[in-house]
Structure 1
Amino acid sequence: MDKKYLLLLAQKFPTIDSAASEIVNLSAIRSMPKGTEYFFSDIHGEYEAFLHMLKSASGMIKNKIDLTLGKAVSSAEREALAYLIYYPDKQLKRLRDKNGLSDEWRRLTIYRLILVCEAVSAKYTRSRVRKSIPKDMVYILDELLNVTDDVVKEYYYDEIITTILDTGIADRFIKSLCELIQSLAIDKLHIIGDIYDRGPRADIIMDELMKMHDVDIQWGNHDISWMGAASGNLALIANVIRISMRYNNFDVLEDGYGLNLRALAVFAGETYKNDECEIFMPQTLDDNIYDPVDAKLVAKMHKAITVIQLKLEGQLIRRHPEWKLSHRDLFSKVDFANGTITIDGQTHKLLDGNFPTVDPVDPLALTEGENELMTILANSFMHSDRLNTHMRFLYSKGSMYKTINGNLLFHGCIPLDENGKLLSLSIAGEQYSGKAMLDKLDEIANKAYFLQPCEEKSNCADHLWYLWSGARSPLYGKDKMAFFERYFLEDKKLHKENYNAYYHFSEKPEICGKILEMFGLDPQRGHIINGHVPVKIKNGESPVKADGRLFVIDGGISKAYQKATGIAGYTLIYDSHSLNLAEHKPFIAGESEHTPEIHMVERLDRRANISDTDKGRELLLQINDLRDLLDAYRSGDIKEGYKVF
């Protein structure tokens, strides 16, 4: 062991006793059961449903209540207790308004909450639990949760609960217990991509994620679009706004991030004032609360930004011939005089042929008004403090993939060809595939945002657009994004986007094994966990594939997908005993019957302790370092009480 490192370690543990005590502490932590990991994917701005999943720990809190109180408490009372834990403020107010908050109810509720809290906190150290308790409640709750003598416990509980009632803090104490149970139910949270777009308030989801004590994010293509917009890429700024127009999501842009769309509204109203813009009418899945906008004006804004995006994407494709996407620059191939386009020898009539801002000689050129508009919009994105706070969090907690506790997490795919071989992507004249591709793209994504303005930053931001929609993008995973075709062409065959061969080959256990090995994981015991592709359970599809080596957990939390999937999302739950899938029902605000169906998909050979996890291996390295420090103290190589002056 390097003596310089040991001298640094000695600053924190200056005596034999302090080093030995830490060894005992870390060894004790390693012997505890592993915490419960939760995996969510494709949240798509559906903040109410997602927050309910967090508050309920995807039904696991209700399971704990049933296990703890099932024999003594009725089903209706257990359901009511669960809903109180999820929404303490709302339930306490409801009961207060109905004069239902008697001291008898409070006493019984506190007692039941303590029992549930004991159950969810059992696998944590006292230190970890104390950190989750509000400061003014630490002493009381710490005492209540750590009474070990069953004979004393009942009397002790009764005395403390009586004092809580006498001092008038019972309701606040109940709320603290509920929030503590919520906090302890989820030890580690993994988000497998696509927080943004379609749903109404991705910003509220980001606020909630920032409160979590341990969260990581594997970027999805919709996240990367927002990251690229925040990095200044004009095509992605247009894309983010277009998708929000399509789903009438003004609240996230204007109320959530303070992005001023007035310039777009004025430009669209003047440019398309005599245009009904029928094919651009928004798909309203959620009403705007703070920024209601007339649907006809939204349609004009939608069309204006769509045309600008098509021009910007065409320019971008021409800037990067190495992507080989010239065939996707369809807008420049339009016969604007006749309102048609010829694709693969067949001529198609456009559903909308009115393009007052297009010069047929140079169709990709922005007009002076469009250039001015994009400058205003780009400045709004660059100067939104809240947006950039969220983007920095997305970068700090996010990556293209993550390996943790034997599992490989990524949003989309590992691009493969039709023979199941790795597809490569050309970046700066070099070819990258597999893990090396994801590592390189991770580096590029960070440079796109964090570099000071320069040519390299701009080039990296262009690559984020490719990640959004490119044929070899591991986040997109389809042969094309039929953006133009879906808007302007009636022929449904042209709308089809074919998935990368990964989605076929990954259902084979041997292919999953090879991918796991590529990332240094055990091909027999590891799992790949993906999102991106909605699992259509009503068509008989299963989220568990490749003999249990692959989990696809996009079940359609987004309202836009629920008709196709038949459910409302999955949560994968990995506790110390097993892997479980929670299958969610569509969320209806104000109703409590949202407990999902939970299916065990894999039981562990034995209960997993922290020593079996990546964290446990990190702790073992720390223990070994401390043992080396002890040896140095005992040999006299380092003196106790060592300090740097």
Structure 2
Amino acid sequence: MEEQNKYLDLLYKQYKNKENIISEIINLKAIQNLPKGTEHFVSDLHGEFNAFQHLLRNGSGNVKEKINDVFNNELTDKEKQILASLIYYPEQKLKHIEKLIDTNWYRQTIDQLIRLIKFSASKYTRSKLRKSLPKRFSYIIEELLYQVKTNTDKKEYYNQIISDVLTLKQGNALIIDLCYTIQRLVIDHLHVVGDIYDRGPEPDKIIDALIDYHSVDIQWGNHDIIWIGAAAGSPLCMMNIIRISARYNNLDIIEDTYGINLRPLLTYAEKYYLDNEAFRPKPTPETYSSKEELLETTKMHQAAAILQFKLEEQLVQRRPEFDMDHRKLLSHTNFDQLTVSIKGKEHPLTNTCFMTVNPDKPSVLTPEEEEIIERLMQNFIHSEKLKRHTDFLVKKGNMYLVYNDNLLIHGCVPLNKDGSLKEFKLTDGSYKGKELLDFFETSLRKAYTCPETYDDFNTDLLWYLWSGENSSLFGKKEMTTFERYFIEDKSTHIEEKNAYYTLRENEETISFILSEFGLYKDDSHLINGHTPVKEIKGETPIKAGGKMLVIDGGFSKPYQKTTGIAGYTLLYNSYGMQLVAHKPFSSVEEVILQNDDIVSIKRIVDRPVERKYVRDTTIGSSLQGQINDLTKLLNYLPY
């Protein structure tokens, strides 16, 4: 009772008097009866910033849908497309049409944008709308928003506002702010279901955009974890980042973006390594590299791979509880015969680069290698920009999220073949299901707080999350990186998926998993990323009778030949869920010149019997808690 009274006293200090408390209760109850805001789900962005920023600007087609709702019979299809492209890229579009616009165009366009804002903000409070408005024109926009068409008394007042805006040459600035306000209002909350990093060239720009976004959460993907691991002081995660960046000809992200000097590694690589076909970087249309640069990257790629394999073996040796002895492939290699023993079978090795490996002690680093790794590690740990980005990922991220009766997980919940929860057995106990994911998250947060400690259990577990059999982010028996580099027999490249990826087609399995996380409603869903949906081969992203949704459709360009599309996103508004398939994004210029878009197909996933309101959401539950507390405070007051 004493603690409760202290809590109520604190509440009273915040609200000052009885009238304020009553007003807040009325306000919160009113908010609960507003329609649920639109959630936007994206996944597996893999550094493709241009495509991602277009999704943010068009709300996965939500902007165009609002335009159709407001101007269905008023504008032609072409006029709607032109208006949409203006809203997506107002600065560029205005510059493109500057010779075609006049006073009438400004008045008409400002009116259209104001009408769109009013329509898009219809489910928000005035307070929330006010906070969404740009500061420089907030007064003007508010006045225009609340004009009443039938009120002739103030007609000249509104006309004068627009006239003064144009006379003072602020028409473009006002239109730009109105367009960005529409972008802000059509999406209430953004979910990023993992894998911002690797493959594509600009994950840093994606992170910067998310930092500035009004409302966002992140479910960590395996590629995000490896960057968090490097910032947390794991040399093994760091070398894996360098290897992947070299493989996709994207070392600029490390050197130029994060200011990490790779010169020590290059000097070392040029000393020991030669050209090697298997390690040449994958060509990309966005990046031009000279022959000299490609050769340097090829050599660094080899150096990073061998250092990674050495460090991995060291980790496997000190962590027998991870049960990864089968991944000590350097130790299973015959360096004279150039063969490796895998599961009792000898395989010839090709494209080898074992110049720095001691056959008698293959996992041992040379003093030169130890010095290079230490210098690189310090650069990663002390990169200000990388720390700012990984701080944001850790602050906004989780292993999973239960939100509005849906479960968001990047990878999987590890299962046995019979559908039971798979156990991860350690010396201090075993973990499975929700408890396993909670354990992983706790360990990650502990590791991140101690970046100078590199071989402790929690830091090593970050690598396990990347490649371990029981990792919810990896979801496979083993990662066959060594085999794909050095063995031609493709049967050794196969990475056997966890039973989850077969069983997730079954509605009973998904319902079982949802119940493990406390979700029992018929309209609950499990939302995944991680595995590209090969629509070109007839695979569907809607599984388990609609209870499972997979929204990795291949934003990463290397995947698009096998997926046939360029990604899925998901929209969830008060009327239900829509799955959106996207065409490959070409360029901002094409959107502006051709009024093109990347939304191709929308599929209705779920239409609830009753419309959803704020009171039915996670935020609604939080508001109800506040209402309960304020009601107690009101009853607690002596007058």
When normalised by structure 2's length, the TM-score is 0.96
In the other structure, the counterpart of 1:342 is 341
Distance in 2 between residues matched to 1:427 and 1:396, nearest whole Å: 28
Cα distance in 1 for residues equivalent to 2:158 and 2:330: 72
**Residue 333 of structure 1: how far off its partner (Å):** 1.0
Match of 1:545 in 2: 543
Q: Give the 5 Å matches for 1:187-198.
A: 187-198=188-199
Question: Secondary structure of the residue that 2:297 maps to in structure 1?
Answer: helix
Supply the distance in 2 between the matched residues of 1:525 and 1:159 (Cα, whole angstroms): 51
Distance change (3 Å), C-alpha of 1:594 and 1:149: closer
Give how far 1:159 is off.
3.8
Q: Which amino acid aligns with 1:244?
A: S
Q: Which residue of 1 aligns with 2:517?
A: 519
What does residue 85 of structure 1 align with? 87
Structure 2 CA distance for partners of 1:292 and 1:159, relative to 1, 3 Å: farther
1:296 maps onto 2:295 in alignment: yes
Q: Residues 291, 173 of structure 1: CA spacing in aligned structure 2 closer, same or farther, 3 A cutoff?
A: farther
Alignment partners' CA distance in 1, 2:155 and 2:309: 70
Q: How does 1:131-530 map to 2 (within 5 A)?
A: 131-152=131-152, 157-272=158-273, 275-288=274-287, 294-451=293-450, 453-454=452-453, 458-530=456-528
Which amino acid is 1:568 matched to? A
Q: Output the TM-score relative to the length of structure 1.
A: 0.95
> What is the aligned length?
630
Runs of 4+ in structure 1 deviating by more than 3 angstroms, as ranges, are 148-159, 286-293, 451-455
Residue 74 (structure 1) shift = 1.6
Deviations 1:544-591 (A, max 9, x none): 110111111110011011111100111110001110011011010122
| AA in 2 matched with 1:381 | F
Distance 2:611 2:156 in 1: 34
- Indicate the larger mover: 284-293 or 422-431: 284-293
Q: Which residue of 1 aligns with 2:47?
A: 45
Which residue in the other structure is 2:563 paired with?
A: 565
Kindly report which structure 2 residues correspond to 1:102-113, keeping only aligned pairs within 5 A, or say none. Answer: 102-113=102-113
In structure 2, what residue type is equivalent to 1:131? K
Deviation digits for residues 113-162 of structure 1 (CA, Å, limit 9, x no counterpart): 11111121111111111112121211111122223454448766544322
Taking a change above 3 Å as real, the CA distance of residues 258 and 17 of structure 1, as seen in their structure-2 partners, is: same
SS at match of 2:334: coil
Structure 2 letter corresponding to 1:574 = Y
- Aligned to 1:420, the other structure's residue is in SS state coil
Name the residue aligned to 2:636.
632
Residues 1:34 and 2:33 are matched in the alignment: no
Matched with 1:68 is: 70
Change beyond 3 A, Cα 1:469–1:291 = farther
User: 1:169 & 1:211 partners in 2: Cα distance?
Assistant: 25
Separation in structure 1 between the aligned mates of residue 554 and residue 15 of structure 2, nearest angstrom: 51
1:214/1:412 CA distance change after superposition, 3 Å: same
Q: Aligned to 1:616, what secondary structure does the other structure show?
A: helix
Could you tell me how far 1:518 is from its partner in structure 2?
Answer: 1.1
Instruction: Output the aligned Cα RMSD.
Output: 1.8
Letter in 2 for 1:180: T
Higher mean Cα deviation, 611-620 or 281-290?
281-290
Which residue type is aligned with residue 594 of structure 1?
A: D
Encode CA deviations 1:162-183: one digit per residue, 9 max, x unaligned: 2221222111000000111111
Indicate conservation of the 8 Å contact 2:233/2:451, yes or no: no
Matching residue of 1:621: 625
Counterpart-to-counterpart distance in 2, 1:518 and 1:565:
31
**1:409-468 per-position Cα deviation (integer Å, ceiling 9, x unaligned):** 11111101111111111345210000000011110000011137458x732110000000
Which residue number in structure 2 is paired with residue 127 of structure 1? 127
Residue identity matched to 1:505: L
2:597 is equivalent to residue 594 of structure 1: yes
The CA deviation string for residues 347-381 of structure 1, in whole angstroms up to 9 with x for no partner, is 22211234211111001111222212111210110
Q: Does the 8 Å contact 1:118/1:145 carry over to 2?
A: yes
The residue type paired with residue 40 of structure 2 is Y
| Residues 22 and 618 of structure 1: CA distance in aligned 2, closer, same or farther (over 3 Å) | same
Residues 367-413 of structure 1: per-residue CA shift (max 9 Å, x gap): 22221211121011011000000111000000110101100011111
SS of the residue 1:210 aligns to: helix
Residue deviations 1:583-610 (CA, integer Å, cap 9, x gap): 0110101222224122211112122111
Q: Is the alpha carbon distance of 1:91 and 1:240 closer, same or farther for their aligned partners in structure 2, counting shifts above 3 Å?
A: same
| Aligned counterparts of 1:607 and 1:290: Cα–Cα separation in 2 | 54
1:6 aligns with 2:38: no
Counterpart-to-counterpart distance in 2, 1:600 and 1:159? 45
1:16 alignment partner AA: K
CA 1:595–1:157 in structure 2 vs 1: closer, same or farther (change >3 Å)? farther
> 2:26 — aligned with what?
24
How far 1:506 moved relative to its partner?
1.7
Write the distance in 1 (CA, Å) between the matches of 2:406 and 2:290. Answer: 42
Kindly state the Cα deviation for residue 104 of structure 1 after the two structures are TM-superposed: 2.2
